[in-house]
Amino acid sequence: MGKSYAKARELDQSDALSGFRDEFYVHDETIYFDGNSLGLLSKRAEKTTLDALESWKQYGIDGWTEGETPWFYLSEKLGTKTAPLIGARPSEVVTTGSTTVNLHQLVSTFYQPEGSKTKILADELAFPTDIYALQSQLQLRGYDPEEHLVFVKSRDGQTFHEEAIIEKMTEDIALIVLPSVLYRSGQILPMKRLTEAAHDRNIAIGFDLCHSIGVFPHHLHDWGVDFAVWCNYKYLNAGPGAVGGLFVHQKHGHKAPGLTGWFGSRKDKQFDMAHDMTPAEDAGAYQLGTPHILSAAPLIGSLELFEEAGAERLRKKSLALTRYMMELVESKLQGMGFTIANPREDDRRGGHVYLEHREAARICKALKAEGVIPDFRAPRGIRLAPVPFYNTFTEVWHVIDRLQMIMEKETYKKYENKRGVVA
Ligand SMILES: *Cc1c(COP(=O)(O)O)cnc(C)c1O
């Protein structure tokens, strides 16, 4: 196994976070490197989900106000607990909706076309749902997306130059929506710099944090970001379809929500049942209807783990895992047709390594047959996300070793080079 394996063993032995692996349901016969699509279940998340069921069992309707975690205040409470992960004030965050729904909500709130300032700026590598939401928001206001949705172009098909983004912030742009981390290449966009540039030009800016929340610390409040949205089922490990989250900067505290629903009411007014709504005076105002308690409950336990591990320590280990992986790719997979397509600098890359290969689809199938769960992105992408909570350096070693074996023995040729329905 040699020197590289010994190094993995050493890194595992000096890993301050190694104890957290036992907090998760990790299957020893498979290596799970897909925490950037769906994080694994933790025992804590399981417990808080069962607690929510217990409340229902015990209290029925009174679960809204009784029990350890009364449901009526859960969305705000989880917002408060999420705030440290993104550098927000507690009142700026609420756990609600999903990335797509929250984007609809905040674009309908922040997109305020005026005169010739009517366009929305996005990026041509954006996650499709973000683009669909922007297109329909424009259509609802009577604007043609063909003309009013403009895109920053990527020169290499993977990443963006921040200067190229800033150049597109022209007079006619009313709103900018960008990812904090690109979902394929894992490139981090410099949120602070882009926010300053947008505000210098009097443009509102929001970020999709799906691939950065839980990966590295943010300072959304200090950076002055106008709004942000995210999901909690990826790096936050809150389960399939978990309730998402949103951030609205305090300076917009009194901005009327574009979409309104009774759960956006001031808590003490909601049950007055009046037809003129009194919105909450914080991010809670952007909620719509009754919260999905059973899909929010896992997040209670999950966030406890973040509090205990600390965002800085998690980031440090994540960078070490992915750095070690890139070293192994370069030493063991040389000349096999792989390219590392994520940025190399620590301050420019997110939580996963992004490999490209012509045969990526069937290489991923061969990896699965070898007990490794990767994440395929058509047409050529293999995302490998070692999660600092539960993955180890020796697992990284084994994944690259199996990849080497698959390429040398050409076992991937047994499979069709085509994606599955969900990939
Ligand atoms: C995962 C992901 C989404 C998913 O949105 P949902 O509304 O949760 O389905 C959106 N945007 C990005 C960048 C993502 O990575």
Q: What pLDDT, on a 0 to 100 scale, did the predictor assign at position 375?
A: 94
Give nearest CA residue, ligand 1 atom 11.
127
Kindly report, residue by residue over 222-245, the tens digit of the pLDDT.
Answer: 999 999 999 999 999 999 999 999
Ligand 1 pocket check: which of 102, 129, 229 to mutate, most ligand atoms within 8 Å of Cβ? 129
**Residues 267, 254: Cα–Cα separation, whole Å:** 16
Q: What pLDDT, on a 0 to 100 scale, did the predictor assign at position 265?
A: 97
* φ/ψ of residue 188, rounded to 5: -85, 130
Q: What pLDDT, on a 0 to 100 scale, did the predictor assign at position 422?
A: 77
Q: What pLDDT, on a 0 to 100 scale, did the predictor assign at position 257?
A: 97
Give the Å distance between the CA of 242 and the centre of ligand 1: 12
Binding region for pyridoxal 5'-phosphate? 99-100, 127-130, 208, 211, 233, 262, 290
Does 55 have pLDDT greater than 90?
A: yes
Pocket, ligand 1, Cβ cutoff 6 A:
98-100, 127, 129-130, 179, 183, 208, 210-211, 231, 244
CATH 3.90.1150.10 at 2-32+310-414, yes or no: yes
Q: What pLDDT, on a 0 to 100 scale, did the predictor assign at position 2?
A: 80
Intrachain domains 2-32+310-414 and 47-308 with the same fold: no
* φ/ψ of residue 151, rounded to 5: -120, 140
Q: What percent of the chain has pLDDT over 90?
A: 96
Sequence-distant (6+) residues with CB within 8 A of 187 are 158, 159, 160, 181, 342, 343, 348, 349, 350
Give nearest CA residue, ligand 1 atom 1.
210
Does 151 have pLDDT greater than 90?
A: yes
Residues designated as active site: 127, 208, 233-234, 383
* φ/ψ of residue 249, rounded to 5: -60, 140
Give the Å distance between the CA of 400 and the centre of ligand 1: 28
Strand partners, 94: 246
Atom of ligand 1 at shortest distance to CA of 179?
13
Kindly report, residue by residue over 307-360, the tens digit of the pLDDT.
Answer: 999 999 999 999 999 999 999 999 999 999 999 999 999 999 999 999 999 999
Does 97 have pLDDT greater than 90?
A: yes
Ligand 1 pocket check: which of 37, 127, 211, 383 to mutate, most ligand atoms within 8 Å of Cβ? 127
Kindly report, residue by residue over 295-319, the tens digit of the pLDDT.
Answer: 999 999 999 999 999 999 999 999 9
Kindly report, residue by residue over 252-270, the tens digit of the pLDDT.
Answer: 978 999 999 999 999 999 9
- Residue 31 burial by Cβ neighbours in a 10 Å radius (0-12, 13-18, 19+): buried
Give the Å distance between the CA of 103 and the centre of ligand 1: 10
Q: What pLDDT, on a 0 to 100 scale, did the predictor assign at position 171?
A: 97
Question: Mean of the per-residue pLDDT values for the chain?
Answer: 97
Give the Å distance between the CA of 41 and the centre of ligand 1: 19
Q: What pLDDT, on a 0 to 100 scale, did the predictor assign at position 420?
A: 79
Kindly report, residue by residue over 155-208, the tens digit of the pLDDT.
Answer: 999 999 999 999 999 999 999 999 999 999 999 999 999 999 999 999 999 999
CATH 3.90.1150.10 at 47-308, yes or no: no
**Residues 52, 69: Cα–Cα separation, whole Å:** 8
Q: What pLDDT, on a 0 to 100 scale, did the predictor assign at position 418?
A: 81
Kindly report, residue by residue over 160-173, the tens digit of the pLDDT.
Answer: 999 999 999 999 99
Q: What pLDDT, on a 0 to 100 scale, did the predictor assign at position 421?
A: 79
Q: What pLDDT, on a 0 to 100 scale, did the predictor assign at position 419?
A: 79
Mean pLDDT (whole number) for 83-103? 98
Mean pLDDT (whole number) for 75-98? 98
Give nearest CA residue, ligand 1 atom 2.
210
Q: What pLDDT, on a 0 to 100 scale, did the predictor assign at position 304?
A: 98
| Of residues 97, 90, 91, 137, the one with CA closest to residue 118 | 137
Does 423 have pLDDT greater than 90?
A: no
Does 1 have pLDDT greater than 90?
A: no
Does 210 have pLDDT greater than 80?
A: yes
What's the chain look like in SS3?
CHHHHHHHHHHHHCCCCHHHHHHECCCCCCEECECCCCCCCEHHHHHHHHHHHHHHHHHHHHHHCCCCCCHHHHHHHHHHHHHHHHCCCHHHEEECCCHHHHHHHHHHHHCCCECCECEEEEECCCCHHHHHHHHHHHHHCCCCHHHHEEEECCCCCCCCCHHHHHHCCCCCEEEEEEECECCCCCEECCHHHHHHHHHHCCCEEEEECCCCCCCCCCCHHHHCCCEEEECCCCCCCCCCCCCCEEEECHHHCCCCCCCCCHHHECCCCHHHCCCCCCECCCHHHHCCCCCCHHHHHHHHHHHHHHHHHCHHHHHHHHHHHHHHHHHHHHHHCCCCCCEECCCCCHHHECCCEEEECCCHHHHHHHHHHCCEECEEECCCEEEEECCCCCCCHHHHHHHHHHHHHHHHHCHHHHCCCCCCCCC
Atom of ligand 1 at shortest distance to CA of 233?
8
Give the Å distance between the CA of 170 and the centre of ligand 1: 27
Order across the sheet with 381-384: list the strands.
339-340, 353-356, 381-384, 375-377
Atom of ligand 1 at shortest distance to CA of 98?
7
pTM equals 0.97
Structural domain boundaries of the chain?
A: 2-32+310-414, 47-308
